[in-house]
């Protein structure tokens, strides 16, 4: 059985990890932390993600106080995720072609430049809507540039054997950044004033940038000798057709897109509406609900590492996504505050499990010379489609109420997840022949279910 995709009909080739290696208990708990360079990267990644969210806290507050524009608030969400949708595959091609250290440093430099420019506009009192829109777009581009190169660096640090641990811990570090960002951002906003706070935030990006100047890993050290084709936009987009030939990759990309499109980023923006349902404690409820969402991701990552029982397979990804959709359905339907908090924590755990499993499988199944672009296709779906949640939850919520829109979106996520499961089972029974770049060898066998 192929432990990567969970389909008994698949037998890994030499360059794919052996069945007893992928996520096996033998790799140990927190296996990726044994690598010193990986530890340092994860720490820097957490700080950069925290800085990302600190910037959101400060700039969103200033934009609302200055312009009182719901349209600008909506544009802030869209501009953050649309660059992932439009450029993830191309940026993945950059990661394939060039030194991933420099690609990530370029993204961090863009983050820092945006923060500095915000500070200059605040300091001079020249903030305008058009300038804010340009900076919001630049910030989204920096995030889209960072993501594919980061995944290649994780693979380079630890290799295929400990990649599941590295992806989980990186997702956990990012969740911790999401958790700490609003806390530190609020402290900077209230304690130092928005102008000083945004300038200080620029410095938080430096540890990761400086680490990348020292590490020997480039994102391609373990794939030395693999030919890196010249990058072209046509070639970058063409990888989407190749991905379509691998049912496991299609399934993981579809699962990531379903969660992003139907729930995605709109849950956080709609949280004040849910908090209002708890009466006089609405302010406290809002903070607790936001905390529970991010805490679920941190708890989920730690639990997955400590137990080591959930291995990266299609089945575990499907089950995790179903649990996530179910938890959000209960959250949208209940008026019991303790149950709502519990469902957000459960949903956070399940969402981290689903996304980290999907990211791991995509990397393990991607051809080494096209890993960045395949990761980019996954990012286009799992991150870029978050912009669509503004329609499925936000606009639909304006028509029928946010509780109903989130409940229906969660139900649609569950239905879509079952459809992905049926597609994967049917593909496994057909046993298609391997494509030229498919890292798994499909061997004809009797019909079987997912492992």
Q: Which residues contact 155 (CB under 8 A, 6 or more apart)?
A: 163, 166, 219, 222, 363, 371
Query: In the structure encoding, which two tokens stand for residue 105, read together?
Result: 């440093």
Could you tell me if residue 6 is left (phi over 0), alpha (psi between -120 and 50 degrees) or otherwise beta? left
Give the residue, 406 or 212, on which the prediction is more confident: 212
Assigned domain for 315 exists: yes
| Domain region containing 125 | 10-16+32-439
> What is the Cα 55 distance to its own chain's centre?
18
What are the backbone dihedrals phi and psi of residue 98, each rounded to the nearest 5 degrees, phi first? -120, 170
Structural domain contains residue 182: yes
CA-to-CA separations, 236 to 227, 231, 244, 377, 448, in angstroms, rounded: 15, 7, 14, 10, 34
CB contact at 8 A, 113 and 53: no
Any domain includes 205:
yes
Q: What pairs with residue 12 in β-bridges?
A: 440
Q: Please count the structural domains in the chain.
A: 1
Residue 138 belongs to some domain of the structure: yes
pLDDT at 84 over 50: yes
In this prediction, residues 137-141 reach a mean pLDDT of 95
Query: What six digits make up the tokens of 64?
Result: 């609302």
**Spatial separation of the C-alpha atoms in residues 148 and 127, rounded to whole Å:** 32
Question: Which position has the higher pLDDT, 415 or 231?
Answer: 415
Which residues make Cβ contacts (< 8 Å) with residue 420, sequence separation at least 6? 251, 254, 255, 258, 318
Structure tokens at 214: 């020292």
SS3 363: helix
- CATH number of the domain that residue 43 is part of: 1.20.1250.20
pLDDT category at 282 given cuts 50, 70, 90 is low
Phi and psi for 11 in degrees, rounded to 5?
-125, 125
The CA distance from 192 to 378, in Å, is 39
pLDDT digits (tens, 9 = 90+) for 156-173: 999 888 888 899 899 889
Structure confidence at residue 415 as a pLDDT band (50, 70, 90): very high
Query: Does residue 249 sit within a domain?
Result: yes
Residue 10's φ and ψ, nearest 5 degrees, are: -100, 135
pTM recorded for the entire structure: 0.79
Q: Is residue 4 part of a domain?
A: no
> Cα–Cα distance between 443 and 448 in angstroms, integer?
12
> In this structure, how many other beta carbons lie within 10 angstroms of the beta carbon of residue 279?
9
Q: Does some domain include residue 180?
A: yes
pLDDT higher at 429 or 26: 429
391-400 core/surface letters (b: 16 or more CB in 10 A; e: else): ebbbebbeee
In a domain, 174, yes or no: yes
- Residue 15's pLDDT band, with cuts at 50, 70 and 90, is very low
Tens of pLDDT, residues 86-134? 898 889 989 988 999 999 999 999 999 999 999 999 999 999 999 999 9
């Amino acid at each position: 059985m192929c432990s990567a995709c969970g389909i008994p009909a698949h037998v890994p080739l030499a360059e794919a990890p052996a069945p007893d290696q992928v996520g096996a208990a033998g790799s140990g708990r927190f296996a990726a932390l044994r690598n010193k360079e990986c530890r340092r990267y994860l720490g820097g990644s957490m700080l950069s993600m925290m800085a990302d969210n600190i910037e959101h806290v400060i700039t969103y507050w200033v934009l609302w106080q200055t312009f009182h524009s719901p349209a600008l608030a909506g544009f802030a969400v869209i501009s953050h995720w649309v660059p992932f949708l439009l450029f993830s595959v191309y940026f993945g091609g950059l990661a394939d072609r060039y030194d991933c250290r420099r690609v990530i440093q370029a993204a961090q430099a863009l983050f820092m430049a945006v923060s500095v420019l915000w500070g200059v506009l605040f300091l001079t009192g020249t903030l305008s809507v058009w300038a804010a829109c340009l900076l919001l777009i630049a910030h989204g581009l920096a995030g889209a540039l960072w993501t594919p190169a980061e995944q290649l660096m994780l693979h380079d640090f630890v290799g295929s054997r400990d990649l599941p641990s590295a992806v989980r811990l990186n997702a956990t570090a990012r969740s911790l950044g999401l958790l700490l960002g609003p806390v530190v951002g609020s402290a900077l906003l209230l304690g130092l004033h928005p102008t000083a706070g945004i300038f200080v935030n620029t410095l938080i990006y430096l540890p990761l940038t400086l680490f990348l100047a020292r590490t020997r890993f480039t994102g391609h050290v373990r794939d030395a000798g693999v030919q890196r084709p010249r990058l072209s936009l046509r070639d970058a987009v063409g990888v989407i057709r190749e991905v379509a030939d691998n049912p496991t990759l299609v399934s993981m990309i579809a699962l990531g897109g379903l969660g992003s499109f139907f729930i995605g980023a709109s849950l956080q923006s709609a949280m004040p509406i849910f908090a209002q349902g708890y009466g006089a404690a609405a302010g406290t409820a809002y903070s607790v609900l936001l905390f529970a969402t991010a805490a679920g991701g941190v708890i989920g990552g730690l639990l997955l590492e400590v137990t080591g029982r959930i291995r990266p397979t299609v089945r575990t990804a499907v089950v995790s996504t179903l649990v996530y959709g179910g938890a959000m359905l209960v959250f949208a339907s209940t008026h019991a505050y303790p149950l709502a908090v519990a469902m957000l924590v459960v949903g956070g755990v399940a969402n981290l499990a689903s996304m980290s499993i999907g990211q791991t499988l995509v990397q393990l199944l991607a051809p080494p010379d096209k890993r960045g672009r395949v990761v980019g296709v996954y990012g286009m779906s799992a991150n870029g489609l978050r912009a669509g949640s503004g329609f499925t939850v936000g606009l639909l919520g304006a028509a029928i109420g946010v509780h109903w829109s989130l409940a229906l979106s969660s139900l649609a996520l569950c239905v879509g997840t079952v459809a992905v499961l049926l597609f994967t089972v049917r593909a496994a029974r057909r046993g298609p022949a391997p494509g030229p770049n498919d890292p798994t060898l499909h061997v004809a066998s009797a019909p079987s279910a997912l492992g």
